[in-house]
């Protein structure tokens, strides 16, 4: 027996049926489709410059589009939109069934993937899907191949019970892991078809744990690019030249010292920092109280020299959360100009090149930061060495800007909590994420009044971008049901 409660957008039995529908859809359809998806090395164009010739991106886009169309969702129309020379976008549209509702819900996801990386468990691999208990392993399943499939399942879950919903459009891109440099052109072209966007559902983000629904409150921006220092035109005997010819590696160290305090990891230029809003610090305290040590313990720490494990920059959960979400940080993610260690003779190498990945706080402009970083690294080169920094992206659109969520509308806060209680038995959590989803700042600029439900399945140890990436299937099911429930509350 369920008492009808007028304060609930959905009654408990309706929420239960959403949950059951989502669970069935994952078992029968989404997991099998994702296994096929994981097998395709649909690397983002930055990691597969031959993507057009290789056809992998086209294949995952075609597979997803064919599946969506085959589902026969009432009123759904779909188009694979292609702008010459750019990665394709899936655009689908489902008319409103809620009377008088004029707003549109945009559902976003991406189908391109990060490259393989090393260190996969011997029974796993990036392109070999494996369902092991609750976890579906393989590259791209959780980031972010599931989004298009889960979005459709959420819509179907509503339609199955005849629950009214607003107009819904889907926007599934294939350039996200390259910084979405193709997306602005599509947003320009599709803007008239997006309509009056009231809610954006983005399923490309993370979760603090697997026990509740997590809303992402901010994302970092990013500048990535290649720093190269050339000192000689060819390598020479290190016994002959070292001490006289400056080491290109030492010059790189000097240049990075302009950017970062090597002892603390603190980024030196003030312009790469922003003020952290007081409300976000408040929210971070609440999140730290939920997650506590798990904030840093979830990483795969190495065993240190004395047998104790390696330690983070801070063990204070509040500082730990702020450092990974509201502060800039530099990572060196690739290198060139070095032989493999087994082939390394005593040679003074002619050049050193590093791929840099600089995460930026949510309120720092990515393009401006890219230009400032280029000047900082290239000006006044030590020893008059040839120093270049080539930021990723396209001219006029280097870097990606982060995002700080708009104030949460009361209806959305209520709907998120009701959905989290219904499907997880716990309230919704709020967390900043340190990753980057370029679309969010683009959409926020284009639709300043839209509310944003940014969520995802990337919880503890899911390890997107690294080895052993997995998707936590039970979380995916509950998230799908929660999305359906929130959409039902939107009007």
Sites of contact with Zn ion (CB under 5 A): 143-144, 204
Quick one: DSSP state of residue 427? P
Q: Which is nearer to Zn ion, 33 or 165 (CB)?
A: 33
Q: Is 375 exposed, middle or buried (0-12, 13-18, 19+ CB in 10 A)?
A: exposed
Backbone angles phi, psi at 432, to 5 degrees: -80, 150
Query: Contact 147/109 with Cβ under 8 angstroms?
Result: yes
The nearest distance, CB 476 to Zn ion, in angstroms, is 14
Three-state DSSP at 151 gives helix
Torsions phi, psi of 310, nearest 5?
-65, 160
Nearer to Zn ion, 151 or 248 (CB): 151
Q: How far is CA 303 from the centre of its chain?
A: 29
Rank residues 21 and 146 by Cβ distance to Zn ion and give the closer one: 146
Instruction: Provide the minimum distance between the beta carbon of 432 and Zn ion in the complex, in angstroms, as a whole number.
Output: 16
Q: Which of 298, 312, 303, 330 is nearest to 431 (CA)?
A: 298
Nearest Cα neighbor of 155 from 213, 223, 71, 236 is 71
In the complex with Zn ion, the residue whose CB is nearer, 204 or 260, is 204
CB of 462 to Zn ion, least distance (A): 12
Shortest distance, CB of residue 458 to Zn ion, whole angstroms? Answer: 8
146 or 296: CB nearest Zn ion: 146
Neighbours of 363 (CB within 10 A): 18
Minimum CB distance to Zn ion, residue 20 (Å):
28
- Give kind and range of the element (H or E) at residue 221: strand 221-230
* Residue with Cβ nearer Zn ion (40 or 158): 40
State in angstroms the smallest separation of the CB of 424 from Zn ion. Answer: 23
- Strand segments (E) across 33-166: 77-81, 89-94, 104-110, 130-132, 135-137
- Separation between Cα atoms, residue 107 and residue 453, nearest integer Å: 9
């Amino acid at each position: 027996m369920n008492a009808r409660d007028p304060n609930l957008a959905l009654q408990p039995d309706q929420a239960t049926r959403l949950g059951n529908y989502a669970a069935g859809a994952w078992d029968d359809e989404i997991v099998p489709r994702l296994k096929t998806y994981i097998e395709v090395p649909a690397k983002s164009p930055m990691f597969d410059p031959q993507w057009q010739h290789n056809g992998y991106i086209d294949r995952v886009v075609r597979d997803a589009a064919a599946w969506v169309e085959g589902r026969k969702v009432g009123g759904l129309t779909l188009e694979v939109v292609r702008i010459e020379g750019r990665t394709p976008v899936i655009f689908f549209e489902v008319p409103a069934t809620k009377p008088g509702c004029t707003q549109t819900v945009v559902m976003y996801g991406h189908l391109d993937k990060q490259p393989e990386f090393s260190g996969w468990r011997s029974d796993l691999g990036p392109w070999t899907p494996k369902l092991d208990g609750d976890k579906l392993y393989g590259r791209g399943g959780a980031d972010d191949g599931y989004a298009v499939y889960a979005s459709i399942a959420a819509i179907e879950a509503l339609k199955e019970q005849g629950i009214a919903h607003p107009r819904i459009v889907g926007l599934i891109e294939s350039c996200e892991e390259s910084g979405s440099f193709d997306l602005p052109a599509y947003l320009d072209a599709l803007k008239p078809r997006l309509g009056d966007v009231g809610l954006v559902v983005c399923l490309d983000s993370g979760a603090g744990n697997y026990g509740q629904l997590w809303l992402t409150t901010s994302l970092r921006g990013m500048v990535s690019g290649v720093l190269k220092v050339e000192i000689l035109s060819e390598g020479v005997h290190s016994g002959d030249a070292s001490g006289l010819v400056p080491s290109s590696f030492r010059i790189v160290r000097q240049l990075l010292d302009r950017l970062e305090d090597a002892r603390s990891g603190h980024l030196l230029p003030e312009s790469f920092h922003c003020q952290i809003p007081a409300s976000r610090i408040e929210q971070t305290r609440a999140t730290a109280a939920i997650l506590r040590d798990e904030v840093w313990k979830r990483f795969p720490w190495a065993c240190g020299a004395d047998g104790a494990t390696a330690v983070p920059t801070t063990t204070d959960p509040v500082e730990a959360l702020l450092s990974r979400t509201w502060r800039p940080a530099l990572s060196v993610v690739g290198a060139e100009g070095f032989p493999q260690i087994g082939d390394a003779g005593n040679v003074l190498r002619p050049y050193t090149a590093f791929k840099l990945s600089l995460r930026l706080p949510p309120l720092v402009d990515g393009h401006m930061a890219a230009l400032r970083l280029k000047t900082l690294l290239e000006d006044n080169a030590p020893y008059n060495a040839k120093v270049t920094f080539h930021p990723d992206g396209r001219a006029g659109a280097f870097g990606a800007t982060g995002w700080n969520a708009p104030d949460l509308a009361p209806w959305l806060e209520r709907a998120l909590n009701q959905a989290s209680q219904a499907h997880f038995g716990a309230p919704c959590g709020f967390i900043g994420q340190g990753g980057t989803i370029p679309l969010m700042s683009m959409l926020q600029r284009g639709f300043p009044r839209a509310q944003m439900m940014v969520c995802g399945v990337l919880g503890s140890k899911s390890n997107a971008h690294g080895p052993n990436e997995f998707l936590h299937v039970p979380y995916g099911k509950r998230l799908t049901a929660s999305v359906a429930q929130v959409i039902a509350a939107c009007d």
